Structures are given as C-alpha cells and as structure tokens.
C-alpha cells in the first residue's frame, strides 16, 4: 500500500483485517486501517467492543518490533500515553488519565481502549497489531450495554470534533511514540506515566485470576511492569486487572 492510513466502511474488526493484510503483503511501519463501524469489534479479555457506525474511532496500526516480544509490555503503556497526550495536547481536555496497562480515562470514566495482538516472527522480531477504540459520541442506546463507567470525547469539547483531522493527529502521535519506543524503550516514558497515572499512590486491588493482591500503587518500573507495595514491600506485576480500593 502507498497510503499509510486506509479508510474502510464497515469491517468485522480492524485488528483482524490488518492482521490478514500483514500476512498477504509487506506493510510499511505505521500502516493503519480506520473503519466507520465494526461488526465484530474486540475488546480485551474476550469482550466485545461496541462499535456503532460513524460516531467513534476504530483504528488498527501495524508495527514490527525489531527486538521481539521481550519489549511488548512497555509498548502497550506507551500507546496509552500517546492517546492521553493527544487528548490533552491537541483537544485541551483536562483530567485525562491512564489506567495500567493501557486504558484511557477522562474524569475517571473510560474513553478509549487498546487491544494489541502480537505474534513472534521467524526472524525474532514481533508483529504488533495495535488496535485503538476511542468513543467520540456514544449514543445512549448502545452505551447502556457497556459494563463500566464510560464517557466520550465530544462531551468534553465546546464544539464537536473534526473526526478525520483528529484521526490524522492520533496516527501521527502513535507513529512518533512507537518510533521513540523502538529507539530507547519504555524508560523515557516513565515520567509521563507518572504524570497521567490514575492510580499513583492510591490503595489498589489487583485481580490475578483467582488471586487477589491488595496494596498501594507505586507506579511502574522501567519495563512498564506495575509496582504495588504490599506489606511494606514493593512487588512487580506483569498482568491482572487493577481497581481502586475504597478504604
């Protein structure tokens, strides 16, 4: 493909389409598919991502990570930060935060989600399909099926967003972020994470399958692993579902 951003009408899932394209041809770094609607939008943990026509943003971006799977953890955090920054810096929305590993919130409600599908390739590199869904205007009729507190971008703007322009900006932020990430890893993003972290120094609960860990969130380490202080000792976690614990 010559264009770096392809616009599709209705797809199953932009992640699935992009994966297919990447298997059929060599894609340039940063190539992305943008869709108007998805009939099989996928969320994390096997959930559905509600994807009505024309009002939101569904985009998947291709990136080949030279260093392979080892660096994947921090990648997802960096992507969350790119989205948080574009909302803050380009749309001037305050109170944007990130939830480990990569959800984006406005005023404590989820506005965007990220789903990264990664495969190891024969040469040791990793193929990353980075899917981003951002609620721009979510009609109440569909939103009632969402099982958590949510919001949409347009509710926080004085005038409705120029969607295509925003998509272009977002794409640029993602490409810049991934380029920086590829060059020097997650370490450079750690201060930014602290700035946007929804949980920093808060009492949290982490669900790891059947296991439950309670402690105080101490941010993330240089690889992007979650740090939780449990009984005075800081432990690192690589997975799980985090939530704020009310006292």
Catalytically annotated residues = 44, 110, 245
Contact between 15 and ligand BTN per CB under 6 A: yes
Q: Give the residue with the Cβ less far from ligand BTN, 23 or 67.
A: 23
Q: Which of 65, 77, 76 is nearest to 191 (CA)?
A: 77
> Under 8 Å CB-to-CB from 137, ≥6 apart: which residues?
55, 56, 152, 153, 154, 160
How far lies 18's CA from each of 45, 58, 74, 80, 144, in Å?
Answer: 20, 12, 22, 20, 29
- Rounded to the nearest 10 degrees, the angle between the axes of helix 72-85 and helix 163-184 is 140
Using CB under 6 A as the binding rule, whether residue 80 contacts ligand BTN is answered as no
3-class secondary-structure state, position 239:
coil
Which one among 19, 27, 30, 58 touches ligand BTN, defined by CB under 6 A? 58
| Dist. CA 92–CA 169, nearest whole Å | 13
Q: What are the helix and strand counts (H, E) for the chain? A: 5, 12
Nearer to ligand BTN, 182 or 241 (CB): 241
Handedness of CA 55, 154, 59, 198 (dihedral sign): negative
Site for ligand BTN (CB under 6 A): which residue of 19, 30, 42, 226? 42
Answer for which of 34, 36, 41, 61 binds ligand BTN (CB under 6 A) is 41
Verify binding: residue 17, ligand BTN, rule CB under 6 A: no
Residue from 43, 52, 203, 240 touching ligand BTN (CB under 6 A): that is 43
The nearest distance, CB 59 to ligand BTN, in angstroms, is 6
What is the C-alpha to C-alpha distance for residues 232 and 119, in angstroms, rounded to an integer? 38
User: Which residue number, 143 or 216, has a Cβ lying nearer to ligand BTN?
Assistant: 143
Residues numbered 114-173 forming contacts with ligand BTN, rule: CB under 6 A: 114-115, 131-133
| Residue 60 touching ligand BTN (CB under 6 A) | yes
Q: Which of 13, 76, 97, 177 binds ligand BTN (CB under 6 A)?
A: 13
Rounded Cα distance between 181 and 59, Å, is 20
Judged by CB under 6 A, which stretch of 43-51, 86-94, 155-163, 184-192 contacts ligand BTN? Answer: 43-51
Positions that interact with ligand BTN (CB under 6 A): 13-15, 38, 41-44, 47, 49, 58-60, 103, 113-115, 131-133
């Amino acid at each position: 493909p010559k264009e770096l951003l392809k616009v599709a009408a209705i797809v199953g899932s932009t992640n699935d389409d992009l994966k297919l394209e990447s298997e059929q041809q060599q894609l340039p770094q940063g190539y992305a598919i943008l869709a108007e609607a998805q009939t099989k939008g996928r969320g994390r943990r096997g959930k559905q991502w509600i994807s009505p026509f024309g009002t939101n943003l569904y985009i998947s971006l291709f990136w080949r990570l030279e260093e392979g799977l080892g660096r994947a953890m921090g990648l997802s955090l960096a992507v969350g930060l790119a989205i948080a920054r574009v909302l803050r810096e380009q749309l001037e929305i305050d109170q944007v935060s990130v939830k480990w590993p990569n959800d984006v919130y406005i005023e404590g409600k989820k506005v965007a989600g990220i789903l990264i599908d990664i495969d190891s390739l024969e040469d040791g590199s990793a193929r990353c399909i980075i899917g981003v869904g951002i609620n721009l205007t979510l009609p109440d009729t569909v939103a009632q099926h969402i099982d958590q507190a949510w919001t949409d971008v347009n509710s926080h703007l004085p005038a409705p967003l120029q969607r295509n322009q925003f998509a272009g900006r977002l794409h640029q932020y993602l490409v810049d972020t991934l380029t920086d990430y590829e060059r020097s890893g997650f370490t450079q993003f750690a201060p930014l994470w602290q700035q946007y972290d929804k949980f920093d120094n808060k009492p949290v609960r982490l669900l790891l399958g059947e296991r439950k860990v309670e402690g105080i969130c101490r941010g993330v380490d240089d690889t992007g692993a979650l740090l939780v202080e449990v009984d005075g000792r800081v432990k690192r976690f690589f997975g799980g579902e985090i939530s704020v614990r009310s006292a």
